[in-house]
Amino acid sequence: MVKDEVLTQLNQKQISTKKAYQLLYPKIKMRKPRRASFVKLKIHVPDSRAVNIFLKILLLLPIPIFIIKWVIRKRTDKVISDQFQITTGELIHLISVKGVKIDVDTHTNERILIKTI
């Protein structure tokens, strides 16, 4: 049906508003999110130049997700933070999707950036 026909039928009360909405805006199929393969980490510790250089060299290349899942798998029910109430299992689920950026700022000014590729 053309928009004009649907709106005319709605105006003449031949169809309900719900039916008109369904005809005007058909359901769009939801795409599955793309799965991420790698995680890129950046960690910055203030006032520790040697530690920062070591961490940048250590985390130079992206880490495959299967390694992170393998390490964290045993702690899936442990709550990471009391403030957000997120478990490690939920964090694994979050970083399994491509294009996610998690930026963590702490009270002691350490900075952690997690990015999925």
Residue 24: per-residue pLDDT:
87
Question: Looking at the predicted structure, is the pLDDT value of residue 50 above 80?
Answer: yes
The verdict on pTM exceeding 0.85 is no
Q: Model confidence over 59-92: pLDDT tens digits? A: 999 999 988 888 887 776 777 777 778 888 887 8
DSSP 43-58: EE-TT-HHHHHHHHHH
CA–CA dist 104, 36 (Å, integer): 20
Question: Looking at the predicted structure, is the pLDDT value of residue 17 above 70?
Answer: yes
- pLDDT higher at 76 or 55: 55
Residue type at 20 in one-letter notation? A
Sheet holding 38-44, edge to edge: 63-64, 38-44, 111-116, 101-105
